[in-house]
């Protein structure tokens, strides 16, 4: 009699054919299935290879459902992780938790705040011209070598054109000198005294020992207010690709306006090489492979046996459905193919539902929730325990 071990290609995929426990249980499953389907009374029209194929499919189904719920618990920690050439090896591991997902999720906010992110900014300057307020950022913004920054990156030429990459202005370095800077400049009365009396190593801060600090604050505030009321305040306005400068430049000497800008960020091409972009992104490429039958415990093996029986019942029903009846002497023998198919599919649905319901209570989130509820209930129970001599009970 042919056995699983000495049969060529006993299962369609052959992924478990070399496992010792699978080989042993495969032959036992043939006996189990046939007896459950009434082979001792009426011949069961199933071959060994059909039952072995159902046995293999049951293990596939069990592993797929198990990995699906394992991914619910672990996907956050595997995002960006290498997918692996064979997509296996991580299904039986308990990974360490980390906050990489949250850190990555917060990167756009850090970039907007100017304290991080994944994209570099570009700093360039615009040559200001006397009595000219309006400048085109895409054609006037140049680097330190006096080259138009966006010419090579966006297709913008010196004669114009439509930018291929959106530009966003992050910071414009256009503001009036601080009042304190003007207060302590080289033309101040304090510095005239330095020159007249030859004070060595004299700094303006030494006046703090003579005059109270609030006087400096008041004088600096007076200068700042004077600038705002009596002069055109330093400011700018951006509309479309144009930037307008206030006040109107009045100096003949060349002045530069420095601007920090960012190109439209490409989510798949940050400013540094990031291999995690090509890593795990969803359930389809998380590195979970097929379970090894040798490592499946008794709970899983019983489910696999019952699912194999349900599959075999459905297979037998499909075989018998090919013939509505079999002629026998004196009449016809009706076959129960339709009933077997219906019962087999119902059994499969029940088994899958039961397994999913059980695994739903065993995800990491549910385990934490149950553990917290248990601790709370234990504390409630301990409140009713008499505590003699003022001693306390602590839960460690």
Tell me which of 179 and 41 has the higher pLDDT: 41
- Taking only the tens place, the pLDDT of each residue in 189-226 is 555 555 555 554 445 554 444 567 777 788 777 777 77
Is pLDDT of 340 > 80? yes
Alpha-helix residue ranges (DSSP H) falling in 186-297: 189-197, 213-230
Tell me which of 197 and 156 has the higher pLDDT: 197
Other beta carbons less than 10 A from residue 340's beta carbon: 21
Q: Chain-wide mean pLDDT for the chain? A: 83
Is pLDDT of 387 > 90? no
pLDDT at 159: 43
Q: Of 381, 360, 394, which Cα lies nearest the Cα of 73?
A: 360
Range from 202-216, 281-295, 316-330 carrying the lowest mean pLDDT: 202-216
Please state, in angstroms and rounded to a whole number, the distance separating the CA atoms of residues 313 and 34. 10
Please state, in angstroms and rounded to a whole number, the distance separating the CA atoms of residues 95 and 309. 35
Mean pLDDT of 358-375: 93
**Claim: this prediction has a pTM higher than 0.75:** no
Percentage of the chain with pLDDT > 70? 79
Please state, in angstroms and rounded to a whole number, the distance separating the CA atoms of residues 237 and 239. 7
Is pLDDT of 186 > 80? no
Is pLDDT of 153 > 60? no
Q: Of 103, 148, 104, which Cα lies nearest the Cα of 125?
A: 148
Cα separations (Å) of 184 from 206, 207, 217, 220, 372? 12, 11, 13, 10, 64
What tokens appear for 326 in the block?
Answer: 């079999």
Other beta carbons less than 10 A from residue 148's beta carbon: 18
């Amino acid at each position: 009699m042919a056995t699983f071990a000495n049969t060529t290609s006993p299962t369609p995929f052959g992924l478990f054919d070399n496992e010792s426990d699978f080989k042993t249980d495969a032959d036992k499953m043939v006996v189990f299935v046939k007896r459950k389907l009434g082979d001792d009374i009426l011949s069961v029209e199933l071959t060994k290879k059909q039952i072995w194929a159902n046995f293999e499919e049951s293990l596939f189904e069990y592993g797929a459902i198990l990995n699906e719920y394992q991914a619910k618990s672990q996907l956050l920690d595997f995002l960006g992780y290498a997918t692996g050439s064979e997509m296996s090896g991580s299904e039986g591991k308990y990974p360490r938790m980390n906050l990489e997902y949250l850190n990555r999720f917060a990167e756009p906010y850090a970039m907007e705040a100017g304290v991080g992110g994944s994209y570099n900014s570009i700093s360039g300057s615009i040559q200001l011209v006397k009595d000219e307020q309006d400048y085109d950022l895409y054609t006037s913004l140049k680097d330190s070598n006096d080259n138009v920054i966006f010419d090579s990156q966006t297709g913008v030429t010196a004669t114009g054109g439509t930018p291929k990459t959106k530009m966003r202005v992050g910071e414009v370095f256009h503001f009036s000198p601080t009042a304190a800077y003007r207060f302590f400049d080289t033309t101040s009365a304090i510095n005239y005294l330095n020159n007249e009396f030859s004070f060595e190593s004299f700094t303006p801060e030494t006046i703090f020992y003579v005059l109270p600090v609030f006087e400096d604050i008041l004088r600096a505030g007076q200068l700042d207010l004077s600038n705002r009321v009596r002069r055109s305040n330093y400011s700018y306005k951006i509309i479309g690709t144009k930037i307008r400068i206030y006040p109107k430049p009045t100096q003949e000497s060349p002045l530069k306006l420095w601007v920090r800008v960012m190109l439209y960020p490409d989510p798949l091409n940050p400013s540094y090489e990031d291999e995690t972009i090509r890593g795990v992104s969803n359930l389809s490429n998380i590195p979970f492979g097929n379970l090894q039958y040798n490592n499946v415990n008794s709970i899983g093996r019983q489910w696999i046996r019952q699912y194999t029986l349900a599959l075999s019942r459905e297979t037998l029903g499909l075989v018998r459905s090919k013939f509505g009846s079999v002629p026998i002497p004196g009449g016809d023998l009706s076959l129960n193919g339709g009933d077997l198919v219906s019962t087999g599919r119902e059994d499969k649905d029940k088994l899958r539902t039961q397994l999913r319901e059980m695994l739903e209570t065993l995800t990491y989130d549910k385990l934490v929730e149950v553990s917290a509820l248990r601790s709370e209930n234990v504390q409630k129970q301990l409140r009713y325990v008499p505590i003699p001599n003022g001693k306390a009970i602590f839960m460690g």
